[in-house]
């Protein structure tokens, strides 16, 4: 077949995909329907650009309230990065850290004084897991179904 005799053809059209962006009013409506701790989590994902896994693995030491900054450890590509801490989430996040401290003290009273540490930190610093700064800000449901948490009037976080 000769190149000059090829029939005319059309290139495949690429579909136009427009990103879905919520207006400010729509965003406020979404936040109004969220309960704690989900409103804090969504606020961090929306305002600080955290991914879900980064938000769930956030520890107390990763939050710097003075510099309004969050350190994301082992993010995408296994890289660490810093991001801004949005001011609108500050009061709720401070309350979440205070609840984490309360739960941590309750754990200590029950003889539970450990938390998973990344890499070889548990070998290098054997007591690091017993410090508040290494605690996760958002605890899993199994952790908060202990008897001392049920005595508290405030509903615990459960994700």
Q: Please count the CA atoms within 13 angstroms of the CA of 113 that sit on its side-chain side.
A: 9
Mean pLDDT for 150-159 is 45
Q: Between vectors from CA 91 to CA 21 and to CA 155, what angle results, nearest 5°?
A: 95
Give percent above pLDDT 70 in the chain.
85
Q: Which residue has the tokens 């459960």?
A: 158
Measure CA 146 to chain center: 23
In this model, does residue 102 exceed pLDDT 60?
yes
Two tokens, residue 39: 């409103």
Check residue 55 and give its pLDDT.
93
Please give the order of strands across the beta sheet that includes 63-64: 63-64, 69-72, 81-84
Each residue of 40-78: pLDDT tens digit?
999 999 999 999 999 999 999 999 999 999 999 888 888
Residues 6+ apart with CB under 8 A from 140: 159
CA pair distance 136, 131, nearest whole angstrom: 11
In this model, does residue 154 exceed pLDDT 80?
no
Check residue 3 and give its pLDDT.
60
Could you tell me which residue, 146 or 80, shows the higher pLDDT?
Answer: 80
């Amino acid at each position: 077949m000769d190149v000059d005799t090829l029939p005319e053809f059309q290139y495949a059209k690429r579909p136009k995909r427009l990103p879905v962006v919520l207006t400010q009013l729509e965003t406020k409506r979404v936040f109004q329907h969220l309960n704690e701790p989900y409103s804090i989590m969504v606020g961090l994902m929306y305002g600080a650009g955290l991914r879900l896994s980064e938000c769930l693995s956030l520890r107390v030491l990763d939050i710097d309230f003075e510099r309004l900054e969050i350190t994301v450890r082992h993010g995408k590509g296994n890289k660490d990065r810093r991001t801004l801490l949005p001011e609108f989430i500050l009061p709720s996040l401070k309350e979440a850290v205070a609840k984490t401290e309360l739960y941590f003290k309750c754990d200590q009273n029950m003889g539970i004084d450990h938390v998973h540490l990344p890499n070889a930190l548990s070998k290098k610093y054997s007591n690091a897991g017993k410090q508040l700064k290494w605690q996760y800000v958002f605890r899993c449901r199994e952790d908060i179904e202990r008897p001392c948490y049920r005595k508290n009037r405030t509903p615990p976080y459960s994700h």
